[in-house]
A and B are shown apart, each in its own frame.
Chain A
Amino acid sequence: MNSISSRPAAVPPALLEALRAAVGAANVVTADEELFVYECDGLTLDKATPGAVVYVHSAMEVAAVVKACAAAHYPFVARGAGTGLSGGAIALHGMLVIELARMNRVLEVDYENRVACVEPGVINLNLTKACAQRGLHYAPDPSSQGSCTIGGNVAENSGGPHTLKYGVTVNHVLGLEVVLPNGETVTLGGPLGALGKLPGYDLVGLFVGSEGTFGIATKVWVKLTPVPETVKTLLAIFPSIEAASRGVSRIVAHGIVPAALELIDKTIIRAVEEWLHLGFPLDAGAVLLIELDGLRDGLDLIAGRVMECCRECGCLDVRAAKDEKERLLLWKARKQAFGAVGRISPSYYVQDGVIPRSKLPEVLAKIEASGRKHGLTTANVFHAGDGNLHPLILFDERKPEQIEEALACNEEVLCAVIEAGGMLSGEHGIGIEKLAFMPRVFSEDDMDAMRKVRAVFDPQTLSNPGKAVPARKCFEVRGHEPPALRPPMRKA
Chain B
Amino acid sequence: MSHASAVQESPATAARTAAAIFPPEANELLRSCVHCGLCLGACPTYRENGNENDSPRGRLYLMKGLADGRLTATEAVTAHLDLCLDCRACETACPSGVRYGRILESTRAMLVERKKPSWSERALRALVFKQLFTRPEALAMAAGLTRFMQRSGLRDAARAAGLVGLLPKRLRDLEAMQPEIKEEPFRANAPAVFPALGGAPKKRVAFFSGCVMDLLMGEIHRATVKVLQAHGVEVLSVHGQQCCGALAFHAGEAETGRKLARRNLEIFRGLGVDAIVNNSAGCGAALKEYGEILHGDAEAAKFSALARDVSEVLAALEPVVALKPPDASKELKVCYDEPCHLLHAQKISAQPKTVMQRIPGVAWVALPDAEFCCGAAGIYNITQPEMSRAVLARKIDALKATGADVVLTGNPGCILQIRQGCKAAGLPCEVLHPMELFARAIG
Contacts from A to B (Cβ < 8 Å): 1-5, 30-34, 36-38, 40-42, 44, 55, 81-83, 99, 101-102, 104, 121, 123, 125-126, 144, 146-148, 272, 275, 336-343, 345-348, 398
B76 touching A31 by the CB < 8 A rule? yes
Is there an interface contact between A31 and B37, defined as CB atoms closer than 8 Å? no
- In the assembled complex, how far is the CB of residue A396 from the closest CB belonging to chain B, in whole angstroms? 8
A32 with B50, Cβ < 8 A, contacts A339-B95, A342-B96 known: no
- B317 CB, min distance to chain A CBs, angstroms: 24
A104: chain B residues within 8 A (beta carbon): 50
User: Which chain B residues lie closer than 8 Å to A144 at the CB level?
Assistant: 36-38
Interface presence of B34 (CB below 8 A): yes
| Contact of A147 with B40 at beta-carbon distance under 8 Å, contacts A342-B98, A343-B96, A347-B34 already known | yes
B residues contacting A by CB (< 8 A) are 1-3, 11-12, 15, 31-42, 46, 49-53, 57-58, 61-62, 65, 70-72, 74, 76-77, 80, 93-98
In the complex, which residues of chain A have a beta carbon less than 8 angstroms from the beta carbon of B51?
55, 99, 101
Known: A4-B15, A5-B12, A42-B36. 8 other contacts (CB 8 A): A1-B70, A4-B11, A36-B71, A55-B51, A82-B52, A121-B50, A338-B36, A346-B31
Kindly state the separation between the CA atoms of A343 and B96 in the bound complex, as whole angstroms.
Answer: 5
- Are A339 and B52 in contact (CB-based, < 8 A)? no
Let me know if A34 and B53 touch, CB within 8 A.
yes
Interface of chain A, main secondary structure: loop
- CB–CB B77/A33 < 8 A: yes
Query: In the docked arrangement, what's the CA distance between A4 and B77, Å?
Result: 14
Given A33-B2, A37-B62, check contact A83 B36 (CB 8 Å): yes
Q: Which residues on the B side are within 8 Å of A31 (C-beta)?
A: 1-3, 74, 76
Known: A31-B2, A33-B2, A343-B97. A147 touches B37 (CB 8 A): yes
The interface residues of chain A lying within 8 Å CB-to-CB of B49 are 55, 102
Evaluate contact between A83 and B96: CB separation under 8 angstroms. Answer: no
Complex Cα distance, B53 from A348, in Å, reads: 23
Contact of A83 among B40, B62, B80 (CB under 8 A): B40
Residue contact A32 to B34, C-beta cutoff 8 Å? no
Chain B residues lying within 8 Å of A42, measured Cβ to Cβ, are 35-37
Instruction: Please determine whether A33 and B34 come into contact, CB atoms closer than 8 angstroms.
Output: no
**Which residues of chain B come closer than 8 Å to A4, judged between CB atoms?**
2, 11-12, 15, 70-71
List, in ascending order, chain A residues with CB within 8 A of B40's CB: 81-83, 147
The minimal Cβ–Cβ distance linking B9 to chain A, given in whole angstroms, is 13
Q: Which B residue's beta carbon lies closest to that of A83?
A: B37
A–B complex contacts, Cβ < 8 Å, 26 sampled? A4-B11, A4-B15, A5-B12, A32-B1, A32-B2, A34-B53, A36-B65, A37-B61, A38-B52, A44-B34, A44-B35, A99-B50, A99-B52, A101-B50, A102-B50, A146-B38, A148-B37, A275-B95, A336-B95, A338-B36, A339-B34, A339-B36, A342-B32, A342-B33, A343-B97, A347-B34
Return chain A residues, CB-CB under 8 Å to B65.
33, 36
- A345 and B50 alpha carbons, distance in the complex (Å): 29
Q: Is the pair A37, B96 in contact by a Cβ cutoff of 8 Å?
A: no
Chain B residues lying within 8 Å of A33, measured Cβ to Cβ, are 2, 62, 65, 71-72, 74, 76-77
A residues in contact with B98, CB < 8 Å: 342
Q: In whole angstroms, what is the CA distance A343 to B46 when docked?
A: 25
- CB-CB < 8 A to B31: which residues of A? 346, 398
When distances are taken between beta carbons in the complex, the residues of chain B under 8 Å from A1 are 70
Residues of B within 8 Å of A126, CB to CB, are 41
Q: Report A-chain residues with C-beta under 8 Å of the C-beta of B53.
A: 34, 37
- CB neighbours (8 Å) of A345 from chain B are 34
Q: Which residue of B lies closest to A337 (CB)?
A: B95
Q: Is the CB of B97 within 8 A of A2?
A: no
Q: Which residues of A contact B95 (CB under 8 A)?
A: 272, 275, 336-340, 342
Nearest CB of chain A from residue B143's CB, rounded to whole Å? 40
Could you tell me the distance in whole angstroms from the C-beta of B301 to the nearest C-beta in chain A?
22
- B30's closest neighbor in chain A, by CB? A346
Q: Which residues of A contact B42 (CB under 8 A)?
A: 146
Q: Are the CB atoms of B76 and A342 closer together than 8 Å?
A: no
Which of A272, A337, A338 counts the most chain B CB atoms within 10 A? A338
Query: In whole angstroms, how far apart are the Cα atoms of A38 and B50 in the complex?
Result: 12
- What residue of chain B has the Cβ atom nearest to residue A123's Cβ? B41
CB–CB B38/A339 < 8 A: yes
* Chain A residues within an 8 Å CB radius of B12: 2, 4-5
B50 surroundings in chain A (CB, below 8 A): 55, 99, 101-102, 104, 121
Q: Could you tell me the distance between the alpha carbons of A340 and B72 in the complex, rounded to whole angstroms?
A: 30
CB distance from B344 to the nearest CB of A (A): 15
Are A125 and B41 in contact, with the CB atoms below 8 A? yes
A146-B52 in contact given A36-B65, A346-B31 (Cβ < 8 Å): no
Please pick, from A34, A41, A55, A272, the residue contacting B76 in the complex, using a CB distance under 8 A: A34
Contacts of B34 in A (CB 8 A): 44, 338-339, 341-342, 345-348
Chain A residues with CB below 8 A from B3, complex form: 31
Chain B residues, Cβ within 8 Å of A346? 31-32, 34
Q: B36 to chain A: closest CB distance in Å?
A: 4
Minimum C-beta distance from A103 to chain B (A) = 9
* Contact of A147 with B38 in the complex, beta carbons under 8 Å: yes
The answer on a CB contact under 8 Å between B37 and A81 is: yes
Residue among B49, B53, B61, B80 with most chain A CB within 10 A: B53
Q: Considering the chains assembled together, what is the distance between the CA atoms of A272 and B95 in angstroms?
A: 8
* Residue of A37, A126, A347 with most partner-chain B CB within 10 A: A37
